[in-house]
Copies of this chain bind each other. A is one copy, B any other.
């Protein structure tokens, strides 16, 4: 295996967003920055993200002098540059002169100038203006030795409903469906007399003013918006890439994000990166946010099946949440090493220096308003910089996942949008996390994939709530199990096809045969309401016990499947709650309700043991995670303690402690929020 080095060097990079244009009036501060970066061990920065107004203060009048100066300085100090295209926020002159670039809301109001990420991505004028500035940047910097990557725009997101987008949406639909007849069938538009007889009758969804009940329309508008944003991003890439085809491009994704389908989007990028802002110290259960964040890291890595970049995180606190919690001592190191453990090869913070004014002046930054690094936060950042320098070998190594979690964005759009069976909330992400968490706490590596991804490389695939069966997914699940795979499905699976049309003839539709059950109907429980589920030695000696189900209860009839546990409440007492179907050489499980932790602990332990999956902890330790990366010759083990108490982990064999540069064996004690990085030969 060749290590997949994101910026070509065997190095875990350390850096941040750097916005020197805010400080051009303060030359003494710009001067200090470089020395402070060296003190903090920062060797990479993203620049230019919001620089358009400084680079092109008037239409067609450019000023690169300050950027030249900054890049030269960085280069002189050995700091690498990820250069952003500035399309994330428009200069005011552009909005004033070309109002078509302003996004239109779902309520059909044209936005005013201001804020950011709120342009019409269809507007030809906007695309043209972006192309001009991007061309200038690429001409000037694509071959600069400090520049290692393009950072296309910033945190793409949101939908536009302007007339230009309406037209583009209709074009998208024409391409997708060919005829209105097919569109009408897919959208089941006869319902409520919604049949379209002219393409121009189609309008994007509008909750307050127009149509929002045609699920196919809503779904296709989300698909269109992904496609339109990708098209915009692709146009940016096509502008800058020809100047230096070796320079990789990316755009920064966000926490498992709703607006676009990242599995599609990632296809046009050279590598993925994301902005991660977990709510550390807000939840009482520290494992919750730790495993949730891990799941997101795994998703980002799985998108391209290679190392990614943590493009933004905060070194202390955010300032846009209800509570601006400080990261407690140790947490900055712990959370950054967690990212590395899951595949990040560059750790970058937002931002270098706190703004003096405006929106993000109280967002955490490496350099606080006081202006030096001799702060609690500054000292921990310096320490982290030192540690990362000692992890060069980890760069480009892989995570070896034998298990996959299916977390499908289009499925999520569809099930959230469907009216029924529980408009109070289906909690798709939380149910996925239920299962992910059980693997995480055992140190089992997981890929987070969607329904379009290959399944055959895994031993275990857990796919909660696959309400929508896209394309040939059903067939591929059958093949996977037939060939010996273990597949876990749950309630609210196999209900609709790719167009959100229900399968006729019995749920779970294309999964009915592999799961060996018929899902007749589904009951919905109130917040806090529970049903009893029991298993006994006759049903399953391993799952013997009494559990609580919640959220939804599928009422299923086993066909070829065997019942492992059954309901013990209400009128469906005695019906199957958990089933297992032997299918070909594999097994397919079905869990009919949202079962509690006690069940999941048993259930996942049985699966992991049965398949003998690699796990980095012999048994779960509350608050502790262990994840590994592998080179051809070495294993790198990352252990983290997310709890406020010291924890002890027993090491099997001898390791080298890369942080403390010494060997380790036997019991390893981690302080509260402590972390360890160990290596051993394979």
Chain B hits for A521, CB < 8 A: 316, 326, 368, 375-377
A210 to B520, Cβ gap below 8 A? no
> Smallest distance from the beta carbon of A250 to chain B beta carbons, Å?
20
Chain B hits for A420, CB < 8 A: 317-320, 324, 361-363
Chain B hits for A587, CB < 8 A: none
Judge if A662 is at the interface, Cβ distance under 8 Å: no
State in angstroms the CA–CA spacing of A522 and B369 once bound together: 13
Chain B hits for A115, CB < 8 A: 192, 210-213
Taking a contact as CB atoms closer than 8 A, the residue among B53, B358, B360, B376 that contacts A197 in the complex is B53
Most buried by B among A208, A324, A376: A324
B-facing residues in A86-136 (Cβ within 8 Å): 86, 88-93, 95-96, 105, 107-116
Taking a contact as CB atoms closer than 8 A, the residue among B93, B95, B323, B421 that contacts A424 in the complex is B323
> Smallest distance from the beta carbon of A525 to chain B beta carbons, Å?
8
Chain B hits for A208, CB < 8 A: 105, 109
Q: For the complex, would chain A's binding face be called helix, strand, loop or mixed by DSSP majority?
A: loop
Q: Using an 8 Å CB-CB cutoff, how does the interface string of A45-62 with B read, 1 for contact, 0 for none?
A: 000001111100110000
Judge if A21 is at the interface, Cβ distance under 8 Å: yes
B-facing residues in A310-339 (Cβ within 8 Å): 316-326, 328-329
A357 to B111, Cβ gap below 8 A? no
Q: Residues of A within 8 Å of B, CB-based: how many?
A: 118
B89 to A197, Cβ gap below 8 A? no
Chain B hits for A186, CB < 8 A: 357
A358 to B502, Cβ gap below 8 A? no
Judge if A276 is at the interface, Cβ distance under 8 Å: no
B21 to A96, Cβ gap below 8 A? no
Most buried by B among A190, A193, A363, A555: A193
Which stretch (A267-275, A457-465, A503-511) binds chain B? A503-511
Taking a contact as CB atoms closer than 8 A, the residue among B24, B323, B354, B520 that contacts A502 in the complex is B354
> Smallest distance from the beta carbon of A414 to chain B beta carbons, Å?
11
B-facing residues in A341-381 (Cβ within 8 Å): 354-363, 368-371, 375-377
B322 to A210, Cβ gap below 8 A? no
A322 to B193, Cβ gap below 8 A? no
Judge if A144 is at the interface, Cβ distance under 8 Å: no
State in angstroms the CA–CA spacing of A602 and B532 once bound together: 40
Chain B hits for A215, CB < 8 A: 357-359, 361
Taking a contact as CB atoms closer than 8 A, the residue among B90, B356, B506, B526 that contacts A193 in the complex is B90
Taking a contact as CB atoms closer than 8 A, the residue among B194, B201, B328, B355 that contacts A191 in the complex is B355
> Smallest distance from the beta carbon of A98 to chain B beta carbons, Å?
13
Judge if A214 is at the interface, Cβ distance under 8 Å: yes
Judge if A669 is at the interface, Cβ distance under 8 Å: no
Taking a contact as CB atoms closer than 8 A, the residue among B316, B358, B525 that contacts A214 in the complex is B358
A520 to B370, Cβ gap below 8 A? yes
Residue of B nearest to A109 (CB): B209
Judge if A630 is at the interface, Cβ distance under 8 Å: no
Evaluate whether A501 and B185 lie within 8 angstroms (CB atoms) in the complex, with A193-B50, A195-B57 already known.
no
A sample of 15 inter-chain contacts (CB < 8 A) reads A22-B190, A50-B190, A50-B191, A54-B195, A57-B197, A105-B208, A109-B208, A112-B209, A113-B211, A189-B358, A215-B361, A320-B420, A356-B501, A357-B502, A363-B420
B-facing residues in A487-502 (Cβ within 8 Å): 496, 499-502
Judge if A659 is at the interface, Cβ distance under 8 Å: no
Chain B hits for A109, CB < 8 A: 107-108, 208-209
State in angstroms the CA–CA spacing of A504 and B361 once bound together: 12
Judge if A196 is at the interface, Cβ distance under 8 Å: yes
A357 to B209, Cβ gap below 8 A? no
State in angstroms the CA–CA spacing of A209 and B113 once bound together: 8
Evaluate whether A524 and B325 lie within 8 angstroms (CB atoms) in the complex, with A419-B320, A423-B320, A507-B369 already known.
yes
